[in-house]
Amino acid sequence: MTHPLPLETIKYERRSNALIRIALQRLISKADDIISAIDGTTDQFEPETAALSSATSEAQRLLSESENGRPESSKTIALRIEGGLVADVTGIPAGYELRVEDYDVQDPGDDSWDAEKECAVTVYGGDSA
C-alpha cells in the first residue's frame, strides 16, 4: 500500500515547479538577448555564443517537453475491477491519489486495514512523468 502525499507537499511541489519554469524561461530569454547583441560583432566570441545558443535550445526543448507531458493532459482514470477486487488502476496524474475503501474486507489483520474507517484502504499514487 502506498501512502498519500500530504497536501502541503503537493502544493509546494507545484509552486516550486512553476517558479523553476518561470526562472528558466527568463534565463532563456536573457541568453537569447545576449546572443543577439553579440552575434556578428566579432568572431572572438563565436565559440561562446554557439555554446550558449546550443544550451538555450536544449533548455527550450526540455521546457517544451515538460509542458507537453504535464499530468493535466490526462483526462481518463481507469479502474479495473475483477471478481470484486481492484485489478489495475491507470491514468492517475502525478500528485493525485485514488483511495479505494473496501468494506467487504472485514479482517483487522489485513495490511490495508483502516481501524478508524473499519475497512481495507488501498491508495494508488499518481503516475510520475
**Type of residue numbered 112:** S
Closest CA to 93 of 125, 115, 71: 71
Residue 3: band (very low, low, confident or very high) from pLDDT cuts 50, 70, 90: low
CA 107 to chain CA centroid, nearest Å? 35
Which residues have C-beta within 8 Å of that of residue 126, sequence separation ≥ 6?
A: 71, 92, 93, 94, 95, 96, 97
pLDDT at residue 105 in the model: 75
pLDDT of 4-52, one tens digit each?
A: 677 788 788 888 888 888 888 888 888 888 888 887 676 777 788 888 8
Q: C-alpha cell of 84? A: 470484486
